[in-house]
Amino acid sequence: ILSAAEVTGADGIHPGYGFLSENADFAEQVERSGFKFIGPRSETIRLMGDKVSAKHQMRKSGVPTVPGSDGALPDDPDEILRNARDIGYPVIVKAAAGGGGRGMRVVHNEEVLLSSIEVTQSEAAAAFGSPVVYMEKFLQRPRHVEIQVLADQHGHAISLGERDCSLQRRHQKILEEAPSPLVTSDLRQRMGEAAVNAALSVQYEGAGTVEFLVDDELNFYFMEMNTRIQVEHPVTEQITGYDLIEEQIKVAAGESIADYQVQLTGHSIECRINAEDPDNNFRPSPGKITNLHLPGGHGVRVDTHVYSGYTISPNYDSMIAKIITTDRGRGEAINKMKRALDEFVIEGIKTTIPFHRKLMDNEDYIKGVYTTKFMEENNF
Ligand code: ADP
């Protein structure tokens, strides 16, 4: 990539949102080779990529965090047990270097705590190259609400509102929407301020996401920061009118965001279409797409790389498309999504389209009452 940048005379390198986008070593090599890395500085990626140091940094800056161990778990088993008693069960053991919903384990009682920690440590070492784990209170039925931030090189940072990503399967998002049906304008204001403080405290640059868990009483707690553009960024683009990729490039080129005014208009929903079989426990379903017809029309956006004749490899992530519908209100956006899902024809593989169709008819989803436990509780 660096050689390609050299021969083409590029000024900067956009890391996409795959594995290079949160790789501090890559960002550092880009910086050292004299190119602009489109994203935050490598030190910021390193700091926020380690969930233990990120949480520590946030606590220092006054951002509320999920109650838990003060940093990585100690070696002394008695201290760990005391720690967990103080936090109160259930607790969740999480890998400092974890991501993608992997490297975490919920523990309901003391008897299995130490063995669960050991298993998580060895899994973390194998998957992420670091056995460091920490522990926090496992919130029983939270919402996952995240704030999109944008920061320039001149000390300005703004919030572009929230996304609700509570609909998850095995801690992995499957549907996202903006605004969140739960968030009031007062909560939006407070979470936005916390996220902007978080960004300013690490001299953040570029687009980033500050993830929070929100409990029943609308208390919110910092969980982690993603220092890249995210899969679900389109819903924010749709309701703010900002093209986030363009903004990433502009701030990397040194432009100021001092006069940006963010207004949220309408409602936007994104369904992740994965090559998985929802009737068979969401088993991956790679293979050749024999026929494809994408939905379209007013307020329907489809982001995808696939085409008729394309073969989905079993070696990569199973997400193959995102359908994003936008309308004046949430109900209209749901109706539009139903139509778009019905119009989507894809043959040769199984996809999560039938699952999303069912979801759009679910009463609780329609009411906007759901938590991260939704899938489990509804036997999807
Ligand atoms: P990753 O980096 O793998 O995405 P996160 O730390 O963002 O991991 O957590 C992913 C999801 O796991 C959250 O959206 C939430 O559903 C669940 N989760 C993580 N921490 C907690 C917690 N303390 N209490 C309840 N659920 C949690």
How far from 317 is each of 100, 172, 272, 284, 320, CA to CA, in Å?
10, 12, 12, 9, 8
Say whether pLDDT at 127 is over 90.
yes
pLDDT of residue 99: 87
- Which of 213, 370, 377 has most ligand 1 atoms within 8 Å of CB, for mutation? 213
Residues 148-182: tens digit of each pLDDT: 999 999 999 999 999 999 999 999 999 999 999 99
Determine the Cα–Cα distance for residues 314 and 335; give it in Å rounded to an integer: 33
Measured from CB, residues less than 6 Å from any atom of ligand 1 are 66, 92, 98-102, 136-139, 142, 144, 168, 171, 211, 213, 223-224, 372
Q: Where are the alpha helices (DSSP H) in the chain?
A: 2-8, 24-32, 42-49, 51-60, 77-87, 113-128, 185-201, 233-240, 244-252, 330-343, 353-360, 363-367, 374-377
Residues 67-124: tens digit of each pLDDT: 998 899 999 999 999 999 999 999 999 999 998 888 999 999 999 999 999 999 999 9
228 in active site: yes
- Which of 223, 228, 375, 376 has most ligand 1 atoms within 8 Å of CB, for mutation? 223
* Number of separate helices (H) and strands (E) present in the chain: 13, 19
Residues 181-195: tens digit of each pLDDT: 999 999 999 999 999
- Closest atom of ligand 1 relative to the 221 alpha carbon: 23
User: Atom 14, ligand 1: which residue's CA is nearest?
Assistant: 144
pLDDT of residue 100: 83
Q: Whats the size of the chain, residue-wise?
A: 380
CA atoms within 13 A on the CB side of 279: 5
pLDDT of residue 379: 85
Say whether pLDDT at 55 is over 90.
yes
How far from 242 is each of 15, 40, 161, 333, CA to CA, in Å?
20, 19, 12, 19
Mean of per-residue pLDDT scores for the chain:
96
User: Average pLDDT for residues 294-313, to the nearest whole number?
Assistant: 98
pLDDT of residue 233: 98
User: Average pLDDT for residues 270-293, to the nearest whole number?
Assistant: 97
Residues 130-146: tens digit of each pLDDT: 999 999 999 999 999 99
pLDDT of residue 212: 98
Say whether pLDDT at 292 is over 90.
yes
The rounded Å distance from CA 366 to ligand 1 centre is 24
Q: Which of 163, 188, 228, 330 is catalytic?
A: 228
**Rounded to two decimals, what is the model's pTM?**
0.96
Residues 2-31: tens digit of each pLDDT: 999 999 999 999 999 888 999 999 999 999
The rounded Å distance from CA 327 to ligand 1 centre is 29
The rounded Å distance from CA 363 to ligand 1 centre is 25
User: Average pLDDT for residues 42-58, to the nearest whole number?
Assistant: 95
pLDDT of residue 333: 98
Burial class of 60 by CB neighbour count within 10 A (0 to 12, 13 to 18, 19+): exposed
Residues 220-265: tens digit of each pLDDT: 999 999 999 999 999 999 999 999 999 999 999 999 999 999 999 9
- Closest atom of ligand 1 relative to the 51 alpha carbon: 6
The rounded Å distance from CA 256 to ligand 1 centre is 33
Say whether pLDDT at 37 is over 90.
yes
pLDDT of residue 265: 98
The rounded Å distance from CA 209 to ligand 1 centre is 14
- Closest atom of ligand 1 relative to the 101 alpha carbon: 3
Determine the Cα–Cα distance for residues 346 and 353; give it in Å rounded to an integer: 9
User: Atom 15, ligand 1: which residue's CA is nearest?
Assistant: 171
User: Average pLDDT for residues 31-53, to the nearest whole number?
Assistant: 97
pLDDT of residue 19: 86
Residues of the chain above pLDDT 90, percent: 97
